Copies of this chain bind each other. A is one copy, B any other.
């Protein structure tokens, strides 16, 4: 994109046309400044094809808020909107609406409560609640969903891949397969959700992390084209980076050429007083090659070198490789734990696009309208009861049991204080007769999940740095039951409604379902 187009395409007009046509309709009816509440939530965990997630990791909030602080309707935007015309040939947007938009087209009137980034989150729980004049809250929808859906999707995939790696180092390598500059958002989300480091130089920089990477096949190819070989290429690398010597060994033949050449160079390095870092395997049967490489490196006296695996990895592939290595290590005269502990994973494509489920179906639904000082709940009736959003002005709580494990997320009306009630009643979100109760003795903590982020456009929250977000994520994941963390067929985490919220939802559904016209 040209630089001069960027302000247009990534600014206030980074929205869908219908948001603007609806905003104009509200303006002409005098409704545009009516205060409303929109909930942002997703309806189901990503399902990567036979293995659906059991939890998600929230991400994207800081970049969304940065966008909101900068986006405002410019004169150039107005000029463009003025030129739009409809079928009748008449202008789509009237002068009085455009004058209003030029004056008020920004997000300074918006208040936001949200679940912070790096937290474990679940379906049908409001992750973000927007309060503000409907004209602007409506225009915000597209960008809000864009920013939060995507980073939450990628952070979730990263958490799964990290989980599958049994604590081994996880490197994000996907920039080349990401979506234009959206790849930067993916890198950030991956680093929140599970990646330890990334190859992405720019984003690592702005987040204060070291980017990772050594060399590609092309380096070895260059030496070969110039009449030298893999060994000379490795040697050159070891001379320039004697303390960071990690060599890609599969340009020609991993076992016959790559690893033997790497070992020669490692020996030379050691004689000069440097310890080699390790090798990277980027093709072939990675489980088999890991075992062979471990054996060869052990025998050559390099048992502490790392073996980085890359090439179409994801949580299932990593799980399978680790399982196979553990099964076959001793048959190869190797200690399984020792092989696993020297591994690291470089994950590119399948992390940066959330392979198997490349979109999170987060939605933004009108849940209440403030009319003459009263909050009137709004509802949309869909085909299935589980797609009907929970109406009204709400709050969200996480209930921990005596083991400090998260037991359920509870949605209540905004004025309810569930920790004050004994016992706590948790109603099933759609089935009338299903509920359970938790006595005081069973509950160790009731934690409010939403925090204030914006109060009428003013930032009232300090965004934590990435290290803090990662700590939060690790802490949240550790407080999930093992069954919920399982990669395949995880145990379903409970998201429940308070009795009052349940009653409100049922009452609205029943009064709306009969067509009123």
Contact = CB atoms under 8 A, between A and B. Distances in A.
**Which residue among A225, A379, A515 has the maximum number of chain B CB atoms within 10 Å of its CB?**
A225
Nearest to A381: B252
A146 B349 contact: no
**Which residue among A87, A516, A517 has the maximum number of chain B CB atoms within 10 Å of its CB?**
A517
Given A215-B21, A222-B36, A179 B175 contact: no
A10 B378 contact: no
B205 A13 contact: yes
Given A183-B146, A218-B366, A383 B202 contact: no
A16 B358 contact: no
- Range, interface on chain A: 35 or more
B176 A179 contact: no
Contact of A63 (B146, B180, B202): B180
A145 interface: yes
A473 B294 CA distance: 51
Interface stretch (A119-127, A369-377, A429-437, A486-494): A369-377
A178 B182 CA distance: 8
A25 interface: yes
Interface string A18-58: 11111011101101001010100000000000000000000
A486 B479 CA distance: 50
Contacts of A10: 181, 184, 202
A129 to B, nearest CB: 15
A17 B199 contact: yes
Contact of A5 (B15, B206, B216, B516): B206
A354 interface: yes
Contacts of A515: 230, 252-253, 256-257, 260
Nearest to A7: B202
Contacts of A330: none
A193 to B, nearest CB: 15
A186 to B, nearest CB: 6
B237 A517 contact: no
A286 to B, nearest CB: 12
A517 B243 contact: no
A1 B71 CA distance: 12
Contacts of A222: 26, 31, 34, 36, 134, 366, 369, 378
A1 B87 contact: no
A90 B274 CA distance: 13
Contacts of A365: 217-218, 221
B15 A177 contact: no
A260 B362 CA distance: 30
Interface in A43-91: 63, 66, 70, 80, 84, 86-88, 90
Contact of A181 (B14, B219, B229, B380): B14
Given A206-B8, A225-B378, A199 B369 contact: no
Contacts of A147: 180
A202 B183 CA distance: 20
A242 to B, nearest CB: 8
B182 A183 contact: yes
A165 B105 CA distance: 37
Given A1-B184, A16-B213, A182-B183, A253 B201 contact: no
Contacts of A200: 14, 16
A368 interface: yes
Interface in A334-391: 349, 352-355, 358-362, 365-366, 368-369, 371, 376-383
A2 interface: yes
Contacts of A376: 225-227
A109 interface: no
Interface in A477-517: 512-513, 515-517
Given A206-B5, A237-B25, A349-B359, A244 B175 contact: no
A18 B199 contact: yes
Shortest Cβ-Cβ A-B pairs, 4 listed:
A182-B182, A179-B182, A88-B243, A18-B213
Given A1-B185, A179-B185, A181-B182, 10 more contacts: A9-B203, A17-B212, A92-B241, A146-B175, A179-B179, A221-B366, A222-B366, A225-B366, A256-B515, A284-B383
29 contacts: A1-B185, A14-B175, A14-B202, A15-B175, A15-B202, A16-B175, A17-B213, A18-B213, A22-B218, A22-B219, A25-B215, A31-B222, A31-B226, A84-B210, A141-B176, A142-B176, A145-B177, A146-B176, A178-B182, A180-B181, A180-B185, A217-B365, A217-B380, A221-B378, A222-B369, A225-B377, A229-B516, A349-B359, A353-B359
